[in-house]
């Protein structure tokens, strides 16, 4: 039902209830008659017309956007005027009907009637303003959510675009180092790079991918890097079979693995290990990435050089508080990066909206 139909339904229902309540009280106090019923019907019809005109006047003069201190006196004065008009209509119709059995006109009764009708119009006004306030508030909230989603979508695309150049240059450097020394392995490296680049292009169009696709890209990346590092790079991957179809942000594991090699293993003369363990625990995907090396506390706090800021930001945009990321020195020779992602695909609500 649209707002116009809802408005008229409320108008007819509200003033019908007003008329029925007045008829009930007239029966209760023993002065009901068919003439009185006609007067009440006229008065209810006049109430519909006057409040509708009042609504048009409110919208035309933009009262809904006025501050409270300006709107209150306007409402009170207008409500009293409408209450007086309805009272005059009541007595005018009353005097025009012959043999109408109703108490003679008294000033005190007239003012009581004005108060009664003014209170009714005031109730109508409060309901009208409340409905408009909540409708406008709802619209503002929707617009805010749309804007927030657009901003987050832009931020997410920007974050993902930051990954491509960083990864590509590293991979191309690896291949360049192999071309003269080992052409056959260079060809293999080109194939691996082609697979990874195809995957990285896909991530521009989607927010999440199955874990199996991400890990295939990670395996290709590690195979590519192992050609460059030779025996200096050793890696092990353990994946819970139940987790392979769970959706995760693309290139997130690959980025952390790349950082582990660049800032950890590559700086160790003897090289080191990358161990990836992924398991499903209590409806959450736990991703543990251990690499040889050390990071200093300053680097963690400043979130630079390790993809920390990027990872945290992407997780927050997609999952809000439902995901977590941490990185620390697990031992004097090993760094642990830990990701926890909801396994049910539960994403940040504001982002989806």
Contact 241, 293 (CB under 8 A): no
C-alpha span between 174 and 98 (Å, rounded):
106
What's the alpha-carbon Rg for the chain, to the nearest Å? 37
Contact 272, 292 (CB under 8 A): yes
Render pLDDT for 305-333 as a digit per residue (tens, 0 to 9): 446 777 888 788 788 889 999 999 999 99
Whole-structure pTM value: 0.54
Render pLDDT for 217-228 as a digit per residue (tens, 0 to 9): 999 989 888 877
Please tell me which residue, 211 or 96, carries the higher pLDDT value.
211
User: Which residues, other chains included, contact 273 with Cβ-Cβ below 8 Å and sequence gap of 6+?
Assistant: 234, 235, 236, 265, 290, 291, 292
pLDDT of the residue at 101: 45
C-alpha span between 196 and 202 (Å, rounded):
10
Angle (CA) 257 158 320, round 5°: 75
Q: Quick one: average pLDDT of 194-203?
A: 79
C-alpha span between 119 and 137 (Å, rounded):
26
Q: Quick one: average pLDDT of 293-305?
A: 61
pLDDT of the residue at 340: 94
DSSP state of 97: S
- Token pair in block for residue 133: 């306030």
**Confidence grade of residue 351 (pLDDT, cut at 50, 70, 90):** very low
Burial level of 222, CB count in 10 A (0-12/13-18/19+)?
buried
Question: Which range among 115-119, 177-181, 289-293, 343-347 shows the weakest confidence by mean pLDDT?
Answer: 343-347
C-alpha span between 123 and 126 (Å, rounded):
5
Render pLDDT for 112-144 as a digit per residue (tens, 0 to 9): 777 878 888 888 888 888 887 777 766 666 666
Q: Quick one: average pLDDT of 155-173?
A: 63
Indicate the average pLDDT of the chain.
79
Distances (CA, A) of 192 to 96, 124, 156, 173, 269: 97, 72, 26, 14, 26
Render pLDDT for 257-288 as a digit per residue (tens, 0 to 9): 988 888 889 889 999 999 999 999 988 999 99
DSSP string across 108-159: HHHHHHHHHHHHHHHHHHHHHHHHHHHHHHHHHHHHHHHHHHHHHHHHHHHH
**Confidence grade of residue 244 (pLDDT, cut at 50, 70, 90):** very high
pLDDT of the residue at 304: 46
pLDDT of the residue at 275: 96
Render pLDDT for 247-257 as a digit per residue (tens, 0 to 9): 998 888 988 89
- Token pair in block for residue 121: 């119009």
């Amino acid at each position: 039902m649209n707002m116009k139909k809802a408005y008229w339904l409320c108008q007819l229902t509200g003033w019908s209830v007003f008329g029925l309540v007045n008829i009930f009280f007239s029966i209760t106090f023993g002065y009901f008659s068919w003439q009185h019923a006609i007067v009440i019907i006229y008065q209810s019809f006049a109430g519909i017309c006057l409040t509708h005109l009042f609504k048009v006047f409110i919208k035309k003069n933009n009262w809904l956007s006025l501050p409270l201190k300006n709107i209150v006196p306007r409402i009170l004065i207008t409500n009293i005027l409408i209450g007086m008009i309805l009272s005059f209509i009541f007595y005018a119709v009353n005097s025009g009907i012959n043999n109408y059995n109703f108490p003679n006109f008294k000033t005190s009764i007239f003012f009581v009637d004005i108060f009664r009708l003014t209170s009714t119009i005031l109730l109508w006004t409060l309901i009208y303003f409340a409905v408009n306030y909540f409708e406008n508030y709802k619209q503002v909230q929707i617009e805010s959510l749309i804007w927030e989603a657009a901003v987050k979508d832009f931020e997410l695309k920007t974050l993902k675009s930051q990954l491509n150049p960083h990864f590509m240059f590293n991979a191309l450097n690896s291949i360049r180092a192999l071309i003269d020394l080992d052409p056959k392995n260079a060809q293999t490296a080109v194939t691996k790079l082609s697979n990874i680049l195809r995957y990285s292009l896909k991530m521009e169009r989607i927010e999440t991918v199955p874990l199996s696709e991400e890990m295939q890209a990670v395996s290709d990346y590690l195979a590519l890097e192992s050609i460059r590092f030779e025996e200096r790079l050793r890696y092990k991957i353990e994946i819970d079979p139940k987790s392979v179809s769970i959706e995760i942000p693309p290139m997130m594991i690959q980025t952390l693995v790349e950082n582990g090699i660049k800032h950890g293993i590559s700086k160790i003369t003897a090289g080191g290990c990358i161990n990836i363990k992924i398991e499903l625990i209590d409806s959450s995907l736990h991703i543990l990435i251990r690499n040889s090396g050390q990071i200093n506390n300053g680097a963690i706090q400043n979130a630079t050089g390790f993809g920390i800021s990027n990872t945290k930001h992407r997780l927050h945009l997609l999952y809000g508080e439902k995901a977590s990321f941490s990185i620390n020195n697990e031992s004097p020779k090993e760094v642990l990066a830990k990701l926890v992602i909801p396994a049910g695909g539960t994403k940040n609500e504001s982002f989806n909206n």
